[in-house]
Amino acid sequence: MAPTAGAISALRPLPLDAVRLEPDGLLGQWQERNAAASLPHCVVRLEESGALENVRRAAGQGDRGFTGMWFADSDVYKTLEAAAWRLSDPAADDRLRDFVAATAALLIKAQQDDGYLNSYFTTVKPDLRWQELDWSHELYCAGHLIQAAVAAARAGAAPELMTVARRLADLLVERFGPGGTDGVCGHPEIETALVELYRETGHRPYLDLARRFVDLRGHGLLGDGRFGPAYFQDHLPVREAGEVTGHAVRQLYLLAGVVDVAVETHDTALLDAARRLWDDAFHTKTHLTGAHGSRHRDEAFGDPYELPPDRAYAETCAAIASLHWNWRMLLATGGHRYADEMERVLYNAVAGATAVDGRHFFYSNPLQVRTGHDGSDEDAPGQRLPWYSCACCPPNLARLMASLHGYVATTDDNGVQIHLYGAGTLRSTVRGADVEVTTRTAYPWSGRIELAVTATTPEPWTLSLRIPSWCDGCTLQVDGDVVAADPTDGYLRLTRSWGTPTAVVLDLPMPARLVAPHPRVDATRGCAALTRGPLVYCLEQTDLSEDVLLEDVRLDASAPVHVDEHAGLPHIPVTLTAGGTVRRPPTPGLYPAYPTTADRDDAPPRTALTAVPYFLWGNRDPGPMRVWIPVDHTG
């Protein structure tokens, strides 16, 4: 995302090549794993699933019938986008460049004379183009194609992809622009894509169409459908909506586009609506892991405080969309709370969706898996799967991880702001002078962050370091001297001359913490969760003795929680050890009499509980897991 110079944006993203993450840090490890495993895996699966063959058929090169979801083109486009971001790195595999070039050439052949491009409607429903916007995903697929083309342009790859995207976008302007058809897509995404295309090309009709799509939503153009208009966010105009509703991914993608339109058109009322909906989403409808979605039936937000851990849908794509929306809110306003939510969702809900091998993924991300859970349904698998019949999540993860370095830091007229901490190097310019910040840190396993800052000018400028909301106090050293660490609005701001190399050391204390749910969250009342730094922890059955079921475990909230940095568990650098008890059911009956005080066992067996980072659960043995642990108040 790169707002234009005239946008109402408090912060600006850095150029694509400004930040390099090192593989000895966790963020860099994720990027390298994505490049070495996840992205090549997605390319292979595009062939095996038939998604690429569908496009070949639309190009007149295949004789097999259409296979997979009718919106499978979007899987191709998201993988293209991921590959394009990766190609901005000189170390990128040449096979990715070949994939991008070959796929771009295929899309040129599949595109129709008027610019239309959709393999399903071209080969299966040619007479119904644009006639089924509630479920067709035509505009959704077009949006992902446009975003792939923008990524390729910014990475200097496959310029012909931009030609394809613009031909399709011009068709959309002709069809749906002023004086054209009043219509919106049942699955928002085209809005933010059109704004990005405007930013890349400067062609105003793309921005105007994005705004038109935002303004048309909420006027009942999509009908009631199976789940009602709120499912599509089509029940109220965006400016009037008071709560996030419906399909979580659609809502969050829409809001990302809303912010894009607002900042480029200086629509402060629209930005205020985004703030209002943010308050609703993050104050009443967000899981502890930063995930969104309470209901499997319609993959949707629930009522306020409806956050069941075991039935949490928490779709991976919703977590990614949340990061995208918060990033845009951060750029627009500079508010630290948006960076806090980026960090929370990245280290928990997003990271937990990918296995340590980079080739297996979660679609939904519950906060509890029960003993006896079937796990055979794709809707709620018991372990990560290599692919899905609806394969939106794996390539979405690939494109986010390939561009992850772009979310680390920003700049403004006064200096540089660092929002996510990872080992690496940042290069930018401040007031025409070159600036370099090299970071060494084991974050999030350690809160110590060492920065080496250099600049080519003695003119003062400000380095802003985010102090996460979970952090209670911090210490700061500059060239070995302890200086006052007084954050304002969530950031430590160091304004000084950086003309000579300067060493900055920020220490963020990371004790283990117990957190409680809001008392209105009925599903987790009487429970607590273990956290440390930005990480949410969980219990797994595999760490309990064979005679203890996870459902019978209780947490002793009065016992200290120890941080173990040498647990010896594979892929898990830091565990937490808490005190607990085992309270087995007194009778086999499903509904026994409520026990009186005299009936209760006041000395249940005690046990030590090992908690592992939530994002790493399920990488050993599949089985029960829980984040929210019932508290034993008599322990």
**Residues catalogued as catalytic:** 299, 392
Amino acid found at 435: V
Amino acid found at 333: T
Contacts of 578 (CB under 8 A, 6+ apart): 512, 530, 555, 556, 559, 561, 562, 608, 609, 611
Angle at 276 between CA 275 and CA 281, to 5 degrees: 95
Angle at 282 between CA 337 and CA 616, to 5 degrees: 85
Determine the length of the chain.
635
Q: Which element (helix H / strand E) includes 102?
A: helix 94-110
Under a CB-based contact definition with an 8 Å cutoff, are residues 534 and 444 in contact? Answer: yes
Q: Could you tell me what percentage of the chain is helix, strand and coil, using 3-state DSSP and rounding each to the nearest 5?
A: 35, 20, 45
Q: How many CB atoms lie within 10 A of CB 357?
A: 14
Find, among 552, 572, 574, 555, the residue nearest to 563 by Cα: 574
Under a CB-based contact definition with an 8 Å cutoff, are residues 419 and 342 in contact? Answer: yes
CA distance 416 to 120: 46
Amino acid found at 459: E
CA distance 281 to 263: 21
Pairing of the two strands 415-418 and 461-466: parallel
Whether the bond into 444 is cis, omega within 30 of 0: yes
Amino acid found at 556: D
Find, among 336, 226, 328, 222, the residue nearest to 277 by Cα: 328
Under a CB-based contact definition with an 8 Å cutoff, are residues 142 and 122 in contact? Answer: no
Under a CB-based contact definition with an 8 Å cutoff, are residues 79 and 398 in contact? Answer: yes
Beta strands in 97-140 (DSSP E): none
Amino acid found at 22: E
Long-range interactions of 213-218: CB distance < 8 A, separation 24+: 213/176, 213/184, 213/185, 213/188, 213/257, 214/238, 214/254, 214/257, 214/258, 214/261, 214/270, 216/182, 216/183, 216/184, 217/184, 217/188, 217/254
CA distance 388 to 399: 17
